[in-house]
Amino acid sequence: MKYVTDEVQASNFLTNLIKKMKKVFLSFWLLLAMGMVTSVFNSCSKEDDPTDLINPTYDEGVIINGVKWATRNVAKMGTFANKPEDAGMFYQWNRKSAWSATGNLTGWNTENPSGEVWEKANDPSPAGWRVPTLNEIKSLLDPNKVSSEWATQNGINGRRFTDKETGNSIFLPAVGSRNYEMGQLNNAGFSGRYWCGTQSDSSSAYFIDFSSENAEWTGFYYRTNGFSIRSVAEE
Protein backbone atom coordinates (compact mmCIF):
# COMPACT_ATOMS: atom_id res chain seq x y z
CA MET A 1 0.00 0.00 0.00
CA LYS A 2 2.84 2.40 0.87
CA TYR A 3 4.38 1.75 -2.56
CA VAL A 4 1.14 2.70 -4.29
CA THR A 5 0.81 5.86 -2.20
CA ASP A 6 4.37 6.90 -3.05
CA GLU A 7 3.70 6.28 -6.69
CA VAL A 8 0.57 8.46 -6.62
CA GLN A 9 2.43 11.22 -4.83
CA ALA A 10 5.23 11.08 -7.37
CA SER A 11 2.71 11.24 -10.21
CA ASN A 12 0.95 14.23 -8.63
CA PHE A 13 4.28 15.98 -8.08
CA LEU A 14 5.25 15.42 -11.71
CA THR A 15 1.89 16.68 -12.92
CA ASN A 16 2.14 19.83 -10.81
CA LEU A 17 5.71 20.39 -11.98
CA ILE A 18 4.66 20.18 -15.62
CA LYS A 19 1.84 22.67 -14.99
CA LYS A 20 4.23 25.11 -13.33
CA MET A 21 6.74 24.74 -16.18
CA LYS A 22 3.98 25.43 -18.71
CA LYS A 23 3.04 28.60 -16.82
CA VAL A 24 6.68 29.70 -16.73
CA PHE A 25 7.14 29.12 -20.48
CA LEU A 26 3.83 30.78 -21.25
CA SER A 27 4.81 33.85 -19.22
CA PHE A 28 8.23 33.93 -20.90
CA TRP A 29 6.79 33.87 -24.42
CA LEU A 30 4.12 36.38 -23.47
CA LEU A 31 6.71 38.82 -22.15
CA LEU A 32 8.87 38.26 -25.23
CA ALA A 33 5.93 38.94 -27.55
CA MET A 34 5.01 42.09 -25.63
CA GLY A 35 8.59 43.29 -25.84
CA MET A 36 8.67 42.78 -29.61
CA VAL A 37 5.37 44.64 -30.06
CA THR A 38 6.62 47.52 -27.90
CA SER A 39 9.86 47.70 -29.87
CA VAL A 40 8.03 47.81 -33.20
CA PHE A 41 5.60 50.44 -31.88
CA ASN A 42 8.40 52.65 -30.61
CA SER A 43 10.24 52.29 -33.89
CA CYS A 44 7.17 53.30 -35.88
CA SER A 45 6.40 56.13 -33.51
CA LYS A 46 9.91 57.48 -33.93
CA GLU A 47 9.69 57.32 -37.71
CA ASP A 48 6.32 59.08 -37.67
CA ASP A 49 7.26 61.67 -35.06
CA PRO A 50 6.70 65.09 -36.68
CA THR A 51 9.71 66.49 -34.84
CA ASP A 52 11.93 64.09 -36.80
CA LEU A 53 10.55 65.22 -40.15
CA ILE A 54 11.34 68.39 -42.05
CA ASN A 55 8.69 71.01 -41.35
CA PRO A 56 8.16 73.02 -44.55
CA THR A 57 6.89 76.03 -42.59
CA TYR A 58 9.52 76.06 -39.81
CA ASP A 59 13.12 77.23 -39.80
CA GLU A 60 15.25 78.07 -36.75
CA GLY A 61 17.20 80.64 -38.73
CA VAL A 62 20.76 81.89 -38.36
CA ILE A 63 21.79 85.34 -37.15
CA ILE A 64 24.39 86.98 -39.39
CA ASN A 65 25.48 90.56 -38.74
CA GLY A 66 22.40 91.17 -36.60
CA VAL A 67 19.82 89.79 -39.03
CA LYS A 68 18.18 86.37 -38.66
CA TRP A 69 18.17 84.60 -42.02
CA ALA A 70 16.29 81.43 -42.93
CA THR A 71 18.54 78.49 -43.79
CA ARG A 72 16.45 77.43 -46.81
CA ASN A 73 14.92 79.09 -49.86
CA VAL A 74 11.21 79.72 -50.13
CA ALA A 75 9.48 76.96 -52.08
CA LYS A 76 5.72 77.02 -52.68
CA MET A 77 3.72 79.81 -51.11
CA GLY A 78 4.17 79.69 -47.32
CA THR A 79 6.78 76.89 -47.30
CA PHE A 80 10.54 76.41 -47.26
CA ALA A 81 12.55 74.02 -49.41
CA ASN A 82 13.56 70.75 -47.75
CA LYS A 83 17.30 71.42 -47.59
CA PRO A 84 19.62 74.47 -47.71
CA GLU A 85 20.95 73.42 -51.10
CA ASP A 86 17.49 72.87 -52.64
CA ALA A 87 16.44 75.44 -55.24
CA GLY A 88 13.00 76.22 -53.91
CA MET A 89 10.96 78.21 -56.44
CA PHE A 90 11.20 81.46 -58.39
CA TYR A 91 9.05 84.53 -57.84
CA GLN A 92 8.47 87.75 -59.73
CA TRP A 93 8.77 90.85 -57.58
CA ASN A 94 5.77 91.59 -55.32
CA ARG A 95 3.91 88.52 -56.60
CA LYS A 96 3.07 85.36 -54.71
CA SER A 97 2.80 83.04 -57.73
CA ALA A 98 5.58 80.41 -57.63
CA TRP A 99 7.44 79.25 -60.74
CA SER A 100 9.51 76.11 -61.08
CA ALA A 101 13.30 76.46 -60.85
CA THR A 102 13.81 73.73 -63.46
CA GLY A 103 12.65 73.00 -67.00
CA ASN A 104 10.66 75.05 -69.49
CA LEU A 105 7.55 77.08 -68.73
CA THR A 106 4.46 78.40 -70.46
CA GLY A 107 2.21 81.28 -69.42
CA TRP A 108 4.96 83.54 -68.10
CA ASN A 109 3.55 86.85 -66.81
CA THR A 110 5.21 89.77 -68.61
CA GLU A 111 3.11 92.53 -67.04
CA ASN A 112 5.11 94.80 -64.72
CA PRO A 113 4.22 94.21 -61.04
CA SER A 114 2.94 97.30 -59.23
CA GLY A 115 3.81 98.56 -55.75
CA GLU A 116 6.57 100.52 -54.04
CA VAL A 117 7.52 97.73 -51.62
CA TRP A 118 6.89 94.00 -51.50
CA GLU A 119 3.46 93.95 -49.91
CA LYS A 120 2.67 91.62 -47.01
CA ALA A 121 -0.30 90.12 -48.85
CA ASN A 122 2.03 89.02 -51.66
CA ASP A 123 4.89 87.75 -49.49
CA PRO A 124 5.34 83.99 -50.10
CA SER A 125 7.48 83.53 -46.97
CA PRO A 126 6.14 81.20 -44.23
CA ALA A 127 4.51 82.79 -41.17
CA GLY A 128 7.02 84.73 -39.07
CA TRP A 129 9.24 85.41 -42.09
CA ARG A 130 9.36 88.01 -44.88
CA VAL A 131 11.29 89.14 -47.94
CA PRO A 132 14.42 91.07 -46.82
CA THR A 133 14.86 94.82 -47.25
CA LEU A 134 17.71 96.49 -49.12
CA ASN A 135 19.46 97.33 -45.84
CA GLU A 136 19.25 93.69 -44.77
CA ILE A 137 20.85 92.35 -47.93
CA LYS A 138 23.50 95.06 -47.62
CA SER A 139 24.26 93.76 -44.11
CA LEU A 140 24.73 90.24 -45.52
CA LEU A 141 27.12 91.62 -48.14
CA ASP A 142 29.10 93.80 -45.73
CA PRO A 143 32.74 92.63 -46.21
CA ASN A 144 33.75 94.09 -42.85
CA LYS A 145 31.33 91.86 -40.95
CA VAL A 146 30.60 88.96 -43.30
CA SER A 147 32.85 86.78 -45.44
CA SER A 148 31.59 85.24 -48.67
CA GLU A 149 32.95 82.33 -50.68
CA TRP A 150 31.89 80.15 -53.60
CA ALA A 151 31.15 76.67 -52.26
CA THR A 152 29.64 73.31 -53.13
CA GLN A 153 27.19 71.68 -50.72
CA ASN A 154 26.04 68.12 -51.42
CA GLY A 155 27.00 68.55 -55.06
CA ILE A 156 25.20 71.90 -55.49
CA ASN A 157 27.09 75.10 -56.31
CA GLY A 158 26.34 78.23 -54.36
CA ARG A 159 27.75 80.87 -52.08
CA ARG A 160 28.30 80.65 -48.32
CA PHE A 161 28.02 83.78 -46.17
CA THR A 162 29.67 83.64 -42.74
CA ASP A 163 29.49 86.05 -39.82
CA LYS A 164 33.12 86.90 -39.03
CA GLU A 165 32.45 87.33 -35.32
CA THR A 166 30.21 84.33 -34.56
CA GLY A 167 31.02 81.90 -37.35
CA ASN A 168 27.32 81.54 -38.19
CA SER A 169 26.75 80.85 -41.88
CA ILE A 170 24.09 80.27 -44.51
CA PHE A 171 24.37 78.66 -47.94
CA LEU A 172 22.58 80.17 -50.94
CA PRO A 173 22.39 77.78 -53.89
CA ALA A 174 23.25 79.11 -57.33
CA VAL A 175 19.79 78.53 -58.74
CA GLY A 176 20.13 80.92 -61.68
CA SER A 177 17.03 82.94 -62.65
CA ARG A 178 14.22 83.21 -65.16
CA ASN A 179 14.28 85.84 -67.89
CA TYR A 180 11.71 88.64 -67.68
CA GLU A 181 10.52 88.22 -71.29
CA MET A 182 9.70 84.50 -71.60
CA GLY A 183 10.65 82.95 -68.28
CA GLN A 184 13.63 81.16 -69.82
CA LEU A 185 15.94 79.55 -67.23
CA ASN A 186 19.42 81.12 -67.19
CA ASN A 187 22.75 80.27 -65.52
CA ALA A 188 21.50 77.54 -63.16
CA GLY A 189 24.51 76.27 -61.22
CA PHE A 190 26.58 79.33 -62.10
CA SER A 191 24.84 82.28 -60.44
CA GLY A 192 22.21 83.19 -57.90
CA ARG A 193 19.77 86.09 -57.75
CA TYR A 194 17.67 86.73 -54.65
CA TRP A 195 15.01 89.40 -54.33
CA CYS A 196 14.69 92.01 -51.64
CA GLY A 197 11.46 93.87 -50.93
CA THR A 198 12.76 97.34 -51.85
CA GLN A 199 12.10 98.83 -55.27
CA SER A 200 14.78 100.48 -57.39
CA ASP A 201 12.30 102.33 -59.58
CA SER A 202 8.81 101.74 -60.97
CA SER A 203 9.95 98.81 -63.10
CA SER A 204 12.97 97.43 -61.18
CA ALA A 205 13.85 96.23 -57.68
CA TYR A 206 16.99 95.46 -55.69
CA PHE A 207 18.40 91.95 -55.28
CA ILE A 208 21.48 89.92 -54.37
CA ASP A 209 23.51 88.92 -57.42
CA PHE A 210 26.36 86.42 -57.05
CA SER A 211 28.56 84.04 -59.01
CA SER A 212 31.80 82.21 -58.37
CA GLU A 213 33.67 85.52 -58.63
CA ASN A 214 31.80 87.80 -56.23
CA ALA A 215 28.53 88.78 -54.55
CA GLU A 216 26.90 92.21 -54.74
CA TRP A 217 23.59 94.01 -54.53
CA THR A 218 22.11 95.73 -57.52
CA GLY A 219 18.79 97.03 -58.80
CA PHE A 220 18.97 97.13 -62.56
CA TYR A 221 16.78 94.17 -63.52
CA TYR A 222 13.07 94.16 -64.29
CA ARG A 223 10.56 93.07 -61.66
CA THR A 224 9.22 90.46 -64.07
CA ASN A 225 12.42 88.42 -63.74
CA GLY A 226 12.04 85.24 -61.72
CA PHE A 227 14.44 85.21 -58.75
CA SER A 228 14.82 83.18 -55.56
CA ILE A 229 13.78 84.34 -52.09
CA ARG A 230 15.75 83.84 -48.88
CA SER A 231 13.58 85.18 -46.08
CA VAL A 232 14.49 87.00 -42.87
CA ALA A 233 12.68 86.74 -39.54
CA GLU A 234 9.99 89.27 -38.76
CA GLU A 235 10.79 91.53 -35.83
Residue 55 lies in a domain: no
d(CA 91, CA 123): 10
pTM, two decimals, is: 0.78
pLDDT value, residue 235 = 80
Q: What is the mean pLDDT of residues 90-111?
A: 97
pLDDT value, residue 108 = 98
Same domain assignment for residues 150 and 228: yes
Same domain assignment for residues 118 and 198: yes
pLDDT value, residue 54 = 75
Residue 56 lies in a domain: no
pLDDT value, residue 195 = 98
Same domain assignment for residues 85 and 196: yes
Q: Is the pLDDT of residue 109 over 90?
A: yes
d(CA 13, CA 16): 5
Q: Is the pLDDT of residue 49 over 70?
A: no
Same domain assignment for residues 45 and 71: no
Same domain assignment for residues 90 and 137: yes
Same domain assignment for residues 141 and 226: yes
Same domain assignment for residues 43 and 128: no
* Residue 95: domain span: 62-233
Same domain assignment for residues 166 and 72: yes
Q: Number of structural domains, the chain?
A: 2
Same domain assignment for residues 45 and 98: no
Same domain assignment for residues 19 and 128: no
Question: Which tens digit of pLDDT belongs to each residue from 179-232?
Answer: 999 999 999 999 999 999 999 999 999 999 999 999 999 999 999 999 999 999
Q: What is the mean pLDDT of residues 42-49?
A: 36
pLDDT value, residue 47 = 36
